[in-house]
Amino acid sequence: MKRYQLQAKSIIETLPFITEFYGKTIVIKYGGNAMIDEDLKHAFALNILLLKYIGINPVVVHGGGPQIGKMLKALNIESHFREGYRVTDQATMDVVEMVLVGKVNKEIVNLINLHGGQAVGLSGKDGRLITAEPKELAVEKKDAPPEIIDLGKVGEVTSVNTKLIHSLLNDGFIPVIAPVGVDEAGATYNINADSVAGAVATALGAKRLYLLTDVPGLLDAEGELITSLTAKEAFEAIRSGVVTGGMIPKITCCLEAVAGVEKSAIIDGRVENCILLELFTKSGVGTEIIY
């Protein structure tokens, strides 16, 4: 009986959080080890399903870099990266779209549905959900003009058509979005999933934006987790070099979204039930960025 009383107490303790988020939209970028480890995959699906059942609207945006790399290797198509971006020619773009939209997206949708949800897979092409343009990348040179890098079919979001997402949410569905966009002429672009998640969260006016990663969050110079940052502090952390490597685009994504989203967070996707822990506990499991 004592064990059940503790369970009941835990449920009661989540009530203030459920009340706060009821009817609100949460955008979650799903990637990293949480997409590979079988136990974490099932925990993720159950977390998403629980949010929907208690009246919160989850929207999932997913990545798929390792799966793309594996397919390109199998097809003997060589991958090239510049400044962390996969240079995407037309052959690579065909594989990216096939893997993200045709394979990874449907696997996530199927997993959520197998647990009792109603997930619907989308790409940026559906209902012109994500409009994009070629990404411009310039690398600063010490004693020379900046180098302009041609990334091919790598894009950045110019607009998000939220009508389709709202329609699905209102009818009880869970949108699962692949980060593929299309320009005004119909050309397809490979877009960074963090950037898509941030753009979708901003367009929807989401209550929260969560980016799942394979690290505890942002660490300070001593290796300690920084649990919370204001936008100003986050800018300073980038400028001073506290934020380095692959964490820079994630923090930047959170900063870009935070003006339209109440709070963004980089959370440890290796922790089982990380979404529930971040949403329904005071401590959370990552680094939050607030305006």
Give the closest residue to 135 by CA, choosing from 190, 90, 211, 187: 190
Residues 195 and 51: their CA atoms lie apart, in Å, by 23
DSSP state of 152: B
Residues 41 and 165: their CA atoms lie apart, in Å, by 23
Token duo for residue 179: 């980060």
Residue 110 is assigned to a ligand binding site: no
Quick one: 241 exposed, middle or buried, by C-beta within 10 A (0-12, 13-18, 19+)? exposed
Give the closest residue to 60 by CA, choosing from 5, 123, 3, 149: 123
Q: Residues with Cβ < 8 Å from 63, sequence gap 6 or more?
A: 29, 30, 31, 32, 35, 179, 193, 194
Residue 65 is assigned to a ligand binding site: yes
- Calculate the alpha carbon distances from 275 to 28, 100, 178, 190 in Å: 9, 23, 20, 26
Residue 190 is assigned to a ligand binding site: yes
Residue 64 is assigned to a ligand binding site: yes
Residue 170 in contact with residue 135, Cβ under 8 Å?
A: no
Helix ranges (H only) for the chain are: 2-13, 15-21, 38-53, 65-74, 90-97, 105-114, 163-170, 193-204, 231-240, 247-258, 274-280
Residues 165 and 129: their CA atoms lie apart, in Å, by 8
- Binding site, annotated residues: 64-65, 86, 190
- Binding site, annotated residues for substrate: 64-65, 86, 190
